[in-house]
Amino acid sequence: MNIRENAGRTAKYEGHLFEKILAEKLGYNVDGRSTTKVDIFGKHKMSVKNPSGKNTQISLSTQKKFIKAFGLEGNCLSFVNEFFGGENYIEFDRHRKKWFEIDEDVRNDFLTFLNSRLSELFEFIFTHGFEMEDHVNVFAWATTKNDVDSVVFLDLEKVRKDFSRGIWTANDTTLEFRIDGMKLLHIQMKGSGKKYTNGYHGIMIHVHGNFKKSWEIVI
């Protein structure tokens, strides 16, 4: 096991432990299933994040699953294949194309897709995932790692309303989503593990802790 894989296992263990502690504090139950985005549940169904920095992974999917979730075809399908890469792109750095290495029409069509289907993207990332058994309505975020007393709770319906006026932009290796100039999300190729296995060329989405005060609720 390499250092990155070991760090990933440690983070996963800490995450599950944190969920258990937070659930006990709130009088909630831990869900624990991999088939739902719900981590703990009680009065609300919550997704819980205990980040070590200012952003953390919120979604990881294979290219195949992402393409199926949004019914991508044509230029959008080509973009996913090229930007997130694979064995067909071994002549490129990290076996994927960067933004400006992709045909302009292809990359512009994908950016149009992102900005025209914000409601579906919101559900995929925050509330429902894809082909999951249940969905969440509150997002719990520890502002200090491993400190349940630092957790802020976000009403995802309030987040959804502001999400609808956000905008996606791109740079060489990431796609970024901002609301009122503040970065909330970025998408990048998953770059750990062995190439072509363990989701190496998967679609990894990170959420940043730039939350509006108006999204917060008291639990």
Are 121 and 86 within 8 A, CB to CB? no
Q: What is the pTM of this model?
A: 0.91
Domain ranges of the chain: 3-217
Give residue-wise pLDDT tens across range 170-184.
999 999 999 999 999
Give residue-wise pLDDT tens across range 46-99.
999 999 999 999 999 999 999 999 999 999 999 999 999 999 999 999 999 999
DSSP, residue by residue, 31-80: ---TTSS-SEESSSEEEEE--SSSEEEEEEE-HHHHHHHHT--HHHHHHH
